[in-house]
Amino acid sequence: TEGVVIKVEATGLCRSDWHGWMGHDPDVTLPHVPGHELAGTVLATGRQVTRWKRGDRVTVPFVGGCGHCFECNSGNHQVCEHQFQPGFTAWGSFAEYVAVDYADTNLVALPESLDFETAASLGCRFVTSFRAIVDQGRVGPGDWVAVHGCGGVGLSAIMIAAALGANVVAIDLAQEKLDFARQMGAVATINAREVADVVEAVREITKGGAHVSIDALGHPTTCFNSIANLRRRGRHVQVGLMLGDHARPQIPMDRVIGWELEILGSHGMQAFRYQAMMNMIETGKLSPQKLVGRRISLEEAPAALMNMDRFEGIGISVIT
C-alpha cells in the first residue's frame, strides 16, 4: 500500500551486482533479478502513497528506508534497521518493471534536464561517493584527497571532491583510467604498478599525507594504503565493499591511535540529500554524464555482469 511500480527506463551495472551473483550477499535468494541503480517513470501507486503519481520521472537510492524506525526518524535512512535493497532483498531493475516500497520516503524526483541514463548512473556509485566525500569525509577546499581505485565510485569521488575545491590524487593499476581521472579533475595520479610504495608516493605528492582518503575499490591492499597514507588526524572513508574473504582486512591500528585518524564507512545516501547533489548537477558543477561509459541492452547484461571481475572499460555501464 505504501509502494509504487516503476517502469524502468535505464539501470546501471555495478560491482555490487557482481558480488550478489558470486554469492557474497546473504540477502539474495534464488530465483532472483539483480539491478539496483534505476531510473524510470511511476506506473502505479499504492493507496497510501501521497507524494507521487503515475508518469512522474524518478530514481531511488539503492538503500531504501522504512521511514518508521529510529534511524529513519533521525534522518539516517541509509542505515535503516529494516532497510531493503532492490536487486538484493527484493527483485531488482534488470527488468521492465520494478516495485519499490515506502515510496514517499525513498523516491527522488528527476529534473527534466536529467536524462534517464545519467540518472541511473547516479543510483549507487555517484550518490555513494557524494555522501562519502561531502557528509562522511567532510572534504573542504584545498584539502588533499587520495582516491584508491578509479572505477565508477572512484571517478565519481574525484569529480565531486574537485568540485568542492579539493586537490585529488588518483591511484589505480591502469594508465587509461588514470588519464581519465585527470579529465575528471585529479591534479596528480599514481600508477600502483609502477611505484614501489603507494603510501610514500601519496605522502610525497601531498607533502605529508592526505587529509581525506577513500578506498573506492574494496580490497585489503587499497584499504590498508588508504589508511596508511593519511596525515595526522586524517579521515579514511571505506566505500568499496569488503565481502567474502576480504571482510576482515588488516589495518594499521597503531597509526590510527597515535595520529588520531578517523575510519568511516559510507553506505548509500538518503533520498532527501539528493537535492544538494541535483542542484550541483543542474548548475553544471557536477557532470555525471561524463562517467557513463558503455550502453548495453538487457540481453547483453548477463555476460557483462559475469565479466565485472576483470575491471574492463572506463566509467559506468548502463543498460538502456
**What tens digit of pLDDT does each residue of 158-168 get?**
999 999 999 99
Closest CA to 127 of 163, 160, 101, 102: 160
| pLDDT over threshold 70, residue 229 | yes
The arrangement of secondary structure in 4-124+269-319, i.e. its CATH architecture, is Alpha-Beta Complex (3.90)
Percent of the chain at pLDDT > 70 equals 98
pLDDT at 292: 82
Measured distance CA(108)–CA(191) in Å, rounded: 38
pLDDT in tens, 293-317: 778 878 877 878 777 766 666 767 7
| pLDDT over threshold 80, residue 233 | yes
Mean pLDDT throughout 109-126? Answer: 89
Return phi, psi of residue 308, to 5°: -65, -25
pLDDT at 310: 67
pLDDT at 226: 98
Q: Given pLDDT bands bounded at 50, 70 and 90, which one contains residue 4?
A: very high
pLDDT in tens, 43-73: 999 999 999 999 999 999 989 999 999 999 9
Residue ranges per structural domain of the chain = 4-124+269-319, 128-265
SS3 290: helix
Name 170's bridge partners.
147, 189
Q: How many CB atoms lie within 10 A of CB 192?
A: 18
Mean pLDDT of the chain: 92
Query: Which amino acid, one-letter code, is at 31?
Result: P
The answer to whether the CB of 231 falls within 8 A of the CB of 261 is no
pLDDT at 17: 78
The arrangement of secondary structure in 128-265, i.e. its CATH architecture, is 3-Layer(aba) Sandwich (3.40)
pLDDT at 311: 62
The answer to whether the CB of 40 falls within 8 A of the CB of 10 is yes
For the chain, how many residues are written?
Answer: 320
SS3 190: strand
pTM to 2 decimal places: 0.92
Per-position DSSP letters for 89-106, written without gaps between them: TB--SSSSEEEESSHHHH
| pLDDT over threshold 70, residue 176 | yes
Q: Given pLDDT bands bounded at 50, 70 and 90, which one contains residue 223?
A: very high
Measure CA of the first residue to CA of the last residue in the chain; give whole Å. Answer: 29
Q: What is the CA radius of gyration of the chain?
A: 19
218 to each of 45, 180, 256, 301, how far by Cα in Å?
Answer: 37, 20, 19, 23
pLDDT at 317: 77
DSSP-assigned letter for residue 139: -
pLDDT at 313: 67
Q: Given pLDDT bands bounded at 50, 70 and 90, which one contains residue 104?
A: very high
What cell numbers appear for 49 in the block?
Answer: 502513497
SS3 32: coil
Query: Which amino acid, one-letter code, is at 125?
Result: R
| pLDDT over threshold 70, residue 75 | yes
Closest CA to 67 of 91, 50, 43: 50
pLDDT in tens, 262-291: 999 999 999 999 999 999 999 999 999 898
Q: Do domains 4-124+269-319 and 128-265 have the same CATH topology?
A: no
The answer to whether the CB of 291 falls within 8 A of the CB of 158 is no
Name 169's bridge partners.
146, 188
Pairing of strands 230-238, 262-265: parallel
